[in-house]
Structure 1
Amino acid sequence: MEFADVVRRRRMVRDYDPDRPVPPEVREQLLEHAIRAPSAGFSQGWAFLVLETAEERHRFWSATTDDAAPDGWLTRMRRAPLLVVPLANKSAYLDRYAEPDKGWTDRDEARWPVPYWDVDAGMAALLMLLTAVDEGLGACFFGVPAERVDAFRSAFGVPAEYRPVGCVSVGYPGAGDRRSPSLRRGRRGVDEVVHRGRW
């Protein structure tokens, strides 16, 4: 598939065929592409928690959602045969930029105009989303609720220095997949968002 087609076809898939697992070679391709994402100072302060057994996925959903009956979105999302949680490690960046070639030995977080540890993990997630499309699968990036992060960490033994920036669900689109109602807003055009030379 041409890259332009991959970009045009990329969308968030919210329902999956539970009877079609993600082939292992595709899973590995997703992860190989994820680690090709840019990272500030080549810090590579990311990690990826891969959940593909029924028990692992159930533990994820139990840790990150409440006990209420699942709504339609959650019911469909729980069918995803593969979940990959990108995690960001701020300390890896602060440590890297305290090295001699960077020289910020005070590790002052105020030097960072934005949290590049999260930005870089997000870019890795985007590469997974694009790879899924290229491989003929669907994927969705969604958040882990802030109030459930501790439960998530506990459920999987995630060290405190790693923070989930979201989760990527992957699988073959299911029969119930439909366009998000949010898309009715329409995609903003280039002329609406691009400012050339000045605002």
Structure 2
Amino acid sequence: MLRRRRMVRDYDPDRPVPPEVRERLLAHALRAPSAGFSQGWAFLVLETAEERDRFWAATTDGGAPDGWLTRMRRAPLLVVPFSHKAAYLDRYAEPDKGWTDRDEARWPVPYWDVDTGMASLLVLLTAVDEGLGACFFGVPPERVPALRQAFGVPDGYRPVGCVSVGYPGTEDRRSPSLRRGRRGVDEVVHRGHWGATGAH
């Protein structure tokens, strides 16, 4: 499965994602790890043409779509994962965690975003298992207020991106970025000391 996972950027618009498959995608997302079992995530699921059009209208500039957007808009299912920082600050202020406040400075990295990203990866991997294609992409920060307004997203929830899901289309092409090649183990693995690289 891992070797088959890649970002798919074109979809067959005539093949919707079956409801039982959609439910598995979401159920598997909930199996992601989370700090303190805070589970500070939420998922906005968009399936109807009207919902998807509203998403694209809120998150793009409204001009003529380029090739990428034209192909991506064919996805029959969009899952927008949101992180909820307050769930983590509240959880770690509980007695069993030993903190007496909700000070964000205690967190070395924003685990609410990290954990929601891991949940999103489980959606991507489940899509591969189900014979689907999927792509994780970002929501431009300047478009987040429009997204919130379009779907009534409560304050405190932040989109970490969007996952498009569907059966791959005939125009799916590999990203030009892949020409850079995948970095090898020897380049990224450091054993025992940062200066010691490789799997030797």
Question: What TM-score, normalized to structure 1?
Answer: 0.97
Q: Does residue 143 of structure 1 match 2:138?
A: yes
Question: What are the ranges of 5 or more consecutive residues in structure 1 without an aligned counterpart?
Answer: 1-5
Match of 1:3 in 2: none
Give the counterpart of 1:160 among 155, 166, 180.
Answer: 155
Q: Deviations over 1:50-106 (max 9, x none)?
A: 000000000000000002110000000000000000000000000000000012222
Partner of 2:64: 69
Distance in 2 (alpha carbons) for counterparts of 1:99 and 1:67: 45
Please point out which of 10, 13, 25 is paired with 2:8: 13
Q: Greater shift after overlay, 101-110 or 172-181?
A: 101-110
> Given residue 117 of structure 2, which amino acid in structure 1 is its aligned partner?
G
**Is 1:111 aligned to residue 106 of structure 2?**
yes
SS at match of 1:170: strand
CA distance in 1, matches of 2:105, 2:123: 30
Quick one: distance in 2 between partners of 1:84 and 1:105?
35
Corresponding residue for 1:48? 43
**2:110 paired with 1:126:** no
3-state DSSP of counterpart to 2:83: strand
Q: 1:179 aligns with which of 170, 174, 178?
A: 174
Separation in structure 2 between the aligned mates of residue 68 and residue 37 of structure 1, nearest angstrom = 37
Instruction: Give 2:197's aligned residue.
Output: none
Aligned pairs, number:
194
CA distance in 2, matches of 1:143, 1:123: 15
Q: How does 1:87-98 map to 2 (within 5 A)?
A: 87-98=82-93
Residue 122 of structure 1 aligns to a residue in which SS? helix
Structure 1 counterpart of 2:57, one-letter code: S
After superposition, what is the alpha-carbon deviation per residue over 1:102-142, rounded to whole angstroms, capped at 9, x for unaligned? Answer: 12222110110000000000000000000000000000000
Tell me the C-alpha RMSD between the 2 structures: 0.5
Q: Percent identity?
A: 87
**Partner SS for 1:101:** helix
Instruction: Report the 3-state secondary structure (helix = DSSP H, G, I; strand = E; otherwise coil) of the residue aligned with 1:49.
Output: strand
Amino acid at match of 1:137: L
> 1: CA distance between counterparts of 2:81 and 2:145?
16
What CA distance in whole angstroms lies between the structure 2 residues aligned with 1:89 and 1:20?
33
**What is residue 83 of structure 1 aligned with on the other side?**
78
Structure 2's unaligned 5+ residue stretches are 195-200
Structure 1: distance between partners of 2:59 and 2:100: 37
Counterparts of 2:24 and 2:186, CA distance in 1: 35
Deviations 1:20-64 (A, max 9, x none): 000111100000000000000000010000000000000000000
The separation in 2 between residues aligned to 1:195 and 1:155, in whole angstroms, is: 46
